[in-house]
Amino acid sequence: MKSIIFIVVLACSAFTGLGQKKAKASEAAAISAATVERVAKTLAADAMQGRAGQVGGVLAAKFLAAEFNRIGLDKFPGLTSFEQTFTAYETRTTALYVMLNNVPVAKEKTVLVTGQPHLNWAEDDDPAPRVIVLGAEANFNKAIRPLLEPTENTVVFIDPAHQEAFTRLSRHLQGGQLQSQKPGPFSTVLAVVAVGNNPIHYRIAANTTVRPVEMRNVVGVLPGQNPERAEETVVFSAHYDHLGFLPAVAGDSIANGADDDASGTSAVVALAEYFKKKNDNARTLVFVAFTAEEIGGFGSQYFSRQLPPQKVAAMFNIEMIGKPAKFGPKTAFITGYDKSDFGKILQRNLAGSPFRFEPDPYPEQQLFYRSDNATLARLGVPAHTISTDQIPTDKLYHTVDDEVESLDLKNMAAVISAIAESATSIVAGQDTPTRITNAGSIVR
Ligand SMILES: [Zn+2]
């Protein structure tokens, strides 16, 4: 689950004839609590280093690929491995100096967004960069957002009234920016400083490295068994990445991300195992563990371009199911409940069961937009997130204390069983949720 931050734009059953054998197999299939526990514990172990970067991220992906192989999933069309690799570009500014009217602007009041390795600017350059003065009354987000994918060289002097919004943005950008496309040869320099009414004289110098970073989703497929439905896919997803290392608290600096989202990822593995055993899915099932959710959703963005969205009948995205929901054990909630009839279908499939799914009780948290479902929802897919997290009071969220010991593994396995059951008619091709036409975006 992403924090709410300034988002950088950098971003009919066909089986009636199959007889007794199939029916027996279906009855035998159950979510394996042992798999849920083992996968959650492995992903949340310190050895995974918070599942970020080229060590922890790669280890986690290899582990999940081995799980998909063990279960006997097929490879995603066009891939020769369970890893769906792609390249993103990381830019890291190593030096940035801004002088305004011969006075240096403090480092923490400057930010550079660039694809250029070196900058050496002054107001008398020809051509000179565009200069924008952002007054106290301006709408910070609206003004700054388009400048974060620069298409010309721009210097923005920002009134100190926007310090807070600037700090939020700067914190988000610090430590390197990731983009799905190689950044173009332009730059935006932001500096929080009062310019007054004097003519502006400035000098700007900066050094930046841009390097390609290999990223990987882990994807496995169970082909649909009904020829009339097999072209349609149902996606079960969760993000396996987490935050890596955070500032140490009591000697612990590893953000294990047990709930966020080792819990959801263990659900994807357990569901893959379940549906493989059940062996009667009419539609094609795609199981995907996304990378880079926490840092901008790059994994789901790449994935969404590798299949025709109009053929995705539904997406079950699973986020933070490790602790019981506010409605009690064996319950969960569905984000964006009103955006399609996906939630109603799931509820219907659970009627008479010990499980209960409710609409998201925290709409003000905008959870619909804070996970990978949003990317596919914007393409029309009924893509929703299922979660149990009591996010307004979850003190472990995005801390080094999100450890496996804080999870209720028994309830987690129950919720995953509920997800399996709630998906029955969609997997069987009997129900098709309405498309999302009003995905919209996060409201600030
Ligand atoms: Zn998160």
- Count the domains in the chain: 2
Q: What is the 3-state secondary structure (H, E, C) of 290-307?
A: ECCCCCCCHHHHHHHCCC
Give the Å distance between the CA of 332 and the centre of ligand 1: 18
Asked, for residue 303, whether it belongs to a domain, the answer is yes
Look at residue 444 in the predicted model and tell me its pLDDT. Answer: 46
Per-residue pLDDT, 176: 67
Residue 141 confidence class, pLDDT cut points 50, 70, 90: very high
* Structure confidence by residue, pLDDT tens digits, 233-267: 999 999 999 998 988 898 889 889 999 999 999 99
Q: Are residues 54 and 110 in the same domain?
A: no
| 325 pLDDT more than 70 | yes
In the block, residue with structure tokens 């599942």: 51
With beta carbons less than 8 A apart as the criterion, state whether 275 and 222 touch: yes
Centre of ligand 1 to C-alpha 403, Å, is 13
pLDDT of residue 172: 79
* Whether residue 189 sits in one domain with residue 250: no
Cα–Cα distance measured from residue 416 to residue 148, given in angstroms and rounded to the nearest whole number: 39
**11, pLDDT greater than 80:** no
Q: What are the tens digits of pLDDT across the range 179-230? A: 888 889 999 999 999 988 777 899 999 999 999 999 999 999 999 999 999 9
> Which range of residues forms the domain containing residue 98?
89-211
Helix (H) or strand (E) holding 349: helix 342-350
* 246 and 347 co-located in one domain: yes
Question: How confident is the model at residue 442, as a pLDDT?
Answer: 62
CA of 210 to the centre of ligand 1 (A): 26
Q: How close is the Cα of 259 to the center of ligand 1, in Å?
A: 9
Residues 261 and 128 in one domain: no
Please tell me whether residues 297 and 227 are part of one structural domain: yes
Residue 174 reports pLDDT greater than 80? no
Q: 3 CA distance to ligand 1 centroid (A)?
A: 6
Q: How far is the CA of 241 from the centre of ligand 1 (A)?
A: 9
Distance 51 CA to ligand 1 centre (A): 12
CA of 120 to the centre of ligand 1 (A): 38
Same domain (yes/no): 139, 195: yes
Position 179 in a domain: yes
**Tally of helices (H runs) and strands (E runs) in the chain:** 11, 17
Query: Same domain, yes or no, for 367 and 304?
Result: yes
Kindly tell me if the per-residue pLDDT of 25 is higher than 50. Answer: no
- Domain co-membership, 127 together with 55: no
Residue 318 has pLDDT above 70, yes or no: yes
Per the domain annotation, does 293 fall within a domain?
Answer: yes
Residues 364 and 406 in one domain: yes
CATH number at residue 316: 3.40.630.10
Residues 183, 237, single domain; the answer is: no
| Chain segment 380-409, per-residue pLDDT in tens | 999 999 999 999 999 999 989 999 999 999
- Cβ 131 vs Cβ 157: under 8 Å: yes
Residue 336 lies in a domain: yes
The whole-chain average pLDDT of the chain stands at 91
Does residue 82 sit within a domain? no
